[in-house]
Structure 1
């Protein structure tokens, strides 16, 4: 299939579901009314409502509940991206460093609610998934109104096509989320008829951790993006715009590219150069996440968290040691 652009995939989805726009408008206009559920502002449209559209268009005796669930989740990600079309292009050094960063124990899973847009597309050339490099991926936060659970959906843009999957994030911490995801992967080993091994599961888990780390960075308090260009979360409160024929759901004509990590990437490459020099007791302190609560204990508090890049702890040059 090759490297297909996210806009090309969006066009294909819209051709498959020509009523996608009218369905989204109907659901949003009736949000919280009669039989239509209400949902948080960080979710564009719950996947269960998209599953209803899939059922109306493709219902057949061969279809299973899982088919509707997966296709509904897939649509929830792609359709939400249509109303922002943000493409996040990470500096190569930053992308590499993020994939090697461990997930901090203290990070709450609510951080995903700070995603800059309802659905984001991240370019990730060469990032592996199950032995196949992916060109990029979409990520979007979903809400299940029947269970009140939150899910983080991914749709991977690979040469094999689009690969959707989700993980439950309605848990206390991201560390717990990862443990739960690992347990589910091992459960699939027991019930799978494919050649799935514990080693392949561990590798898949590491790849999942890399994806989550990238999304977390874009949700962090100070990502390396021009603050004047970064989308404002407040825009989600106003979905409609006024036109000559009345209100409408605004859809950008072209994608908007956000360059992430240009400044930080240059510093990382400088760090790598320093670390390669011959020094005594010089070491590279690994990148890590740092989070803390800000504000009075008796009032409103905000969780601040940042990604701390690798740091060279410099020792003494070999030449200086030999002169002593």
Structure 2
């Protein structure tokens, strides 16, 4: 299911307010197979994510801690952050700072070119990972109907009170959620039918797919012609959504076991 939403519309003005829909102030997202879907700088088991708020409840920075797999000498945890300016997530600004600590100076011009190319490739891969992680977190914030707690999902009232404080208390226990199970089943059902021509589409209709997260402009105000001058555009972030897929709520839950 990751392939459907790991490449949202490239835009650098995502409102940080969306992240207040997180089910908890800090989450861990499992991403064992992420490096097989898109090129990243290193494979990870998953990542921790939490927004940092000021005393007024405004999100001022995002923190991501990568849980590294043992590969080519990398292991353990690696922290990085994403800038938030005026309540807007600044992903591109964060990209420029990904390698600030890795600058090198060489005398040989050819070596400089080689190093710069390697650094650019590494930075691009790190940005792929960062962009994918933000997309996954936005999906969790937006698709709350396709999130199911192992016991019973219920938004924590305690979290609502705590999310706007400067300091957070350690979690008393770990809560686990299954994410995107029914939607993932809908996508698999379509992909299995596609090679045999069983998909139920007609000429002129779009085939089932996941529309990437994107911005959409809504016009607010009266639709009366005489009041048309009073209508105003409103830009709203739309999360990844299924198009022409069966009702995901009616599909059976399918959980694929993962070898540890």
Q: TM-score, normalised by structure 1?
A: 0.50
In structure 2, how many angstroms separate the alpha carbons of the residues matched to 1:112 and 1:172? 11
In structure 1, how many angstroms separate the alpha carbons of the residues matched to 2:120 and 2:60? 27
Structure having the larger proportion of residues in helix: 1
In structure 1, how many angstroms separate the alpha carbons of the residues matched to 2:188 and 2:105? 45
The Cα of 1:291 is off from its aligned counterpart by 5.5
Given that 2:9 and 2:214 are in contact with CA atoms closer than 8 Å, whether structure 1 keeps it comes out as: no
In structure 1, how many angstroms separate the alpha carbons of the residues matched to 2:170 and 2:47? 23
Q: Which residue of 1 aligns with 2:213?
A: 289
CA RMSD of aligned residues (A): 4.1
The Cα of 1:152 is off from its aligned counterpart by 0.7
Q: Which residue of 2 aligns with 1:219?
A: 141
Deviations 1:113-148 (A, max 9, x none): 222111001111132385432111110001356xx7
Aligned 1:192-271 pairs, distance under 5 A: 192=104, 195=115, 196-220=118-142, 222-226=144-148, 229-232=152-155, 234-238=157-161, 251-253=171-173, 255-271=174-190
The unaligned stretches of length 5 or more in structure 1 are: 1-93, 240-248, 313-324
The Cα of 1:179 is off from its aligned counterpart by 1.9
Deviations 1:249-293 (A, max 9, x none): 68434x222111111110010122233345999866553125669
In structure 2, how many angstroms separate the alpha carbons of the residues matched to 1:250 and 1:173? 27
The Cα of 1:310 is off from its aligned counterpart by 6.3
Given that 1:141 and 1:152 are in contact with CA atoms closer than 8 Å, whether structure 2 keeps it comes out as: yes
Q: TM-score, normalised by structure 2?
A: 0.61
Given that 1:284 and 1:311 are in contact with CA atoms closer than 8 Å, whether structure 2 keeps it comes out as: yes
Given that 1:104 and 1:288 are in contact with CA atoms closer than 8 Å, whether structure 2 keeps it comes out as: no
In structure 2, how many angstroms separate the alpha carbons of the residues matched to 1:306 and 1:237? 22
Given that 1:155 and 1:165 are in contact with CA atoms closer than 8 Å, whether structure 2 keeps it comes out as: yes
Instruction: Name the CA shift for 1:287/1:104 in 2 (closer, same or farther; >3 Å).
Output: farther
Q: Which residue of 2 aligns with 1:276?
A: 195
In structure 1, how many angstroms separate the alpha carbons of the residues matched to 2:171 and 2:96? 39
Q: Which residue of 2 aligns with 1:166?
A: 81
Q: Which residue of 1 aligns with 2:15?
A: 108
In structure 2, how many angstroms separate the alpha carbons of the residues matched to 1:171 and 1:149? 9
In structure 2, how many angstroms separate the alpha carbons of the residues matched to 1:199 and 1:208? 14
Q: Does 1:152 align with 2:57?
A: no
Given that 1:271 and 1:311 are in contact with CA atoms closer than 8 Å, whether structure 2 keeps it comes out as: no
In structure 2, how many angstroms separate the alpha carbons of the residues matched to 1:139 and 1:263? 24
In structure 2, how many angstroms separate the alpha carbons of the residues matched to 1:266 and 1:135? 23
Q: Which residue of 2 aligns with 1:95?
A: 2
In structure 1, how many angstroms separate the alpha carbons of the residues matched to 2:64 and 2:170? 24
Q: Which residue of 2 aligns with 1:47?
A: none
2:241 to 308, 314, 324: 308
Secondary structure at the aligned position of 1:155 is classed as: strand
The alignment of Structure 1 onto Structure 2 pairs a total of residues equal to 202
The Cα of 1:233 is off from its aligned counterpart by 5.5
Given that 1:109 and 1:173 are in contact with CA atoms closer than 8 Å, whether structure 2 keeps it comes out as: yes
Given that 2:17 and 2:59 are in contact with CA atoms closer than 8 Å, whether structure 1 keeps it comes out as: no
1:185 to 98, 105, 130: 98
Given that 1:275 and 1:283 are in contact with CA atoms closer than 8 Å, whether structure 2 keeps it comes out as: no
Q: Does 1:121 align with 2:25?
A: no
